[in-house]
Structure formats: structure tokens, C-alpha cells
Amino acid sequence: MSYLKIEGLTKTYNGELKALDALSLNIAKAERWSIIGASGSGKSTLLKLIAGMEVQDEGIVYLEGEKILNPEQKLVAGYDELQLVKQDNGLFPLSTVAENISRPLLQYDKEYAAERLETLLQVFGLADKRDNFPRQLSGGQQQKVAIARALSLEPEVLLLDEPFSSLDSLQKRGLLDELNLIFKSLEITVIMVTHDIQDALLLTENLCVLSDGKLLRQGKVKDIYKNPETAYVAGFFGPLNQIPGKTNQYLRPSSIENSTEKGKLKGKVLLNRYFPEYDLLTVEVPGKSIPWQITRVERDISEGASIYMSWEEDKVLLLEDI
């Protein structure tokens, strides 16, 4: 039996806009999943339905075999076992870090609440910030407080709705590494909505790709990368170069060998941008209106120069359109 089982969820807004279309997904205990898709693909709606905070048209969500009731079926919407952290962290600006984290515990035994607070302050490295107000914290620290607060009730499942989108890349990278270790140690089930594949790769090992409310691919990140099936899914992992004259055949930049002397395909370098480990070249290719993007380790080619590209046939991705 699946730990978290989602069966045929369908949700329509205003009788017309279908946010989710018969979506089903099975998640095991302590797994970490990312839900990725374009804006309007149904990602946030899915989290709300899992949390019991939204009314679906069809379908059921089960947690350990128990049906999750929606707001029409339950007097007080939501569950302590399913905690949702939104993009807006929702911290109380006039409350300290300690007060924000312990707010959900106000009705609990005082000894337990105090003990739980100290545990979370230690786990999240916030002990020295306990008396600070949110305005005195960095963006990453604020998100840690919001997540610690969500974990105060010891939920079974943590739902994250793009909570890192407002952070700069340096803050985010360190925070995601830290949270990854915390979630592993707590053995908690995590489902994160994101539009950034890098966030997904840093925090989770499973991926669910949505488009227009439909589930296109689900499974281990590495398996989806190797076999994305569609150009839409493959596009989340980086640029795709369509081979001239070949229907639905693509190459990733890393799959293309290049030379200044010979190769299968000749192109003209339009742009050359410096990256720490390579130069990123935008190349005009005969027969294609959209230029290719390739990488070159040797830093010996200038814009306007000719370049030759080659590839092994087993590197070609056969991808369908959606």
C-alpha cells in the first residue's frame, strides 16, 4: 500500500479552466518529490488538494489508507499531519523566531511545546536567533523559520509551494543543502512545487512533471533525464538542439563534440559567453531558424568564426511533441 495515494484528482475553476485532469500518483514514506511544470500547469492546486485545503471535482487522496477530507467534508479544513508552506512564508512580523515557530503549539502541553521548540531551534540552527524578529533575518533564515513552524506539529508530510523562489542563488544553494540533510534525518515525506529544476535536483530524488493539469512523467530524476519522452519534459533539464532535417530528434549541448576543423555539421558562432568550466556558444546552424547552444572547453574561438559539430547516434533523443 502506498503511503500517500492520489487517485484521479480533477479540478476545474469557473467551470472551464481545468487545473488538474485525472491525476494519480503514489508516494512512499520518507520519499522526497518535486512537482515541476510551467505556470498554470496545476502544481499549486495539487498541493492544496493533498493538504485538504481545496475542493476537488473528482478523485481522492489517501494518507496511510485514510481518506483526506476536503473543506466541504470537514468542519475545519486541513490536517496536522499535512503541513503546507507557501511562497509567502506567512511569518508574524511582530513575533520573534521562537514565537513564530511555537505558535501552532499554543494549545498543547506547555512542557511538550517548550521541548519541541528547543528541538527545532537546534535542528534548524536558529538557537542564536530565537529572540530576533523576521525583519532581522535573511530570506533564507525566514524560510527556515517557516519550515520549522510547519514541522512543530510533527507532520507526516511536508508540502512546499515554491518557498525558495524569492531567494538569490547563493542563499538558496546553501539552504537547500541544509534542508536536504534535515529532511533525511527526520525521515519526513516532502513534496515541493517548483519551476526551477535546480531546486528539484538539490532537494529531491523524484520528479513529477505537469502540463495543463496532466501528469506527463513521474519517477526518479535520473530516469526522467535519460528518457524524458517529450521535448517539454526534456526542456526542463536545459537547452535542446533539433537536428536539421530530422523530425523529433534532438541533442543536448553536452552531447555535441565540436572542432574548428571538421565534423558532421558546420555552423557559425553568433555568441560566446564565458562560464567557469566552459564557453557557452550560440551557433547558427543551416536549415534551423533557432540557433544551437553548445559548450566548448577550449577557449580558442571567437564570435563570427566557423565551428564543426559531431555527435554519437546513441546521444540523439527521440522526443514527441505534446
Q: Helical H runs in the chain?
A: 43-50, 97-102, 110-123, 139-150, 169-186, 197-203, 221-226, 231-235
**Can you tell me the distance from the alpha carbon of 233 to that of 209, in angstroms, rounded to the nearest whole number?**
7
Q: What is the pLDDT of residue 60?
A: 97
226 and 243 both lie in a single domain: no
> In the structure, what pLDDT confidence band is assigned to residue 287 with cuts at 50, 70 and 90?
confident
Q: What is the pLDDT of residue 322?
A: 66
Q: What is the pLDDT of residue 1?
A: 57
Grid cell 535546480 in the structure block, residue: 198
Q: What is the pLDDT of residue 77?
A: 93
Phi and psi at 297, nearest 5°, equal: -75, -40
Question: In the predicted model, what is the mean pLDDT of residues 101-128?
Answer: 95
Dihedral-angle region of residue 245 (phi above 0 means left; psi in -120 to 50 means alpha; beta otherwise) = left
271 and 209 both lie in a single domain: no
> In the structure, what pLDDT confidence band is assigned to residue 9 with cuts at 50, 70 and 90?
very high
Q: What is the pLDDT of residue 267?
A: 96
Best-predicted range by mean pLDDT among 57-71, 76-90, 157-171? 57-71
What letters, b where the CB count within 10 A reaches 16 and e where it falls short, cover 78-87? bbebbbbbbe
282 and 160 both lie in a single domain: no
CATH value at residue 224? 3.40.50.300
How much is the mean pLDDT over the chain? 94
Q: What is the pLDDT of residue 121?
A: 96
221 and 250 both lie in a single domain: no
210 and 303 both lie in a single domain: no
160 and 298 both lie in a single domain: no
> In the structure, what pLDDT confidence band is assigned to residue 274 with cuts at 50, 70 and 90?
very high
Out of 195, 230, 265, pick the residue that ends a domain: 230
Q: Helical H runs in 65-138?
A: 97-102, 110-123
118 and 80 both lie in a single domain: yes
Q: Is the confidence at residue 217, as pLDDT, over 90?
A: yes
Question: In the predicted model, what is the mean pLDDT of residues 139-158?
Answer: 95
pTM reported for the whole predicted model: 0.92
Out of 196, 230, 264, pick the residue that ends a domain: 230
pLDDT in tens, 65-107: 999 999 999 999 999 999 999 888 889 999 999 999 999 999 8
Q: What is the pLDDT of residue 229?
A: 96
For the chain, what is the domain count? 2
19 and 146 both lie in a single domain: yes
275 and 202 both lie in a single domain: no
Question: In the predicted model, what is the mean pLDDT of residues 192-210?
Answer: 94
Q: Is the confidence at residue 196, as pLDDT, over 80?
A: yes
**Can you tell me the distance from the alpha carbon of 14 to that of 9, in angstroms, rounded to the nearest whole number?**
17
217 and 244 both lie in a single domain: no
User: Residue 286 sits in which domain range?
Assistant: 239-318
Q: What is the pLDDT of residue 79?
A: 94
Question: In the predicted model, what is the mean pLDDT of residues 189-195?
Answer: 95
Contact by Cβ (8 Å): 147, 85: yes
79 and 226 both lie in a single domain: yes
Q: Is the confidence at residue 284, as pLDDT, over 60?
A: yes
CATH value at residue 310? 2.40.50.140
> In the structure, what pLDDT confidence band is assigned to residue 297 with cuts at 50, 70 and 90?
very high
Q: Is the confidence at residue 244, as pLDDT, over 70?
A: yes
* Cell numbers describing residue 260: 574548428
Question: In the predicted model, what is the mean pLDDT of residues 121-130?
Answer: 95
Out of 230, 252, 280, pick the residue that ends a domain: 230
> In the structure, what pLDDT confidence band is assigned to residue 28 with cuts at 50, 70 and 90?
very high
143 and 261 both lie in a single domain: no
pLDDT above 70 as % of the chain:
99
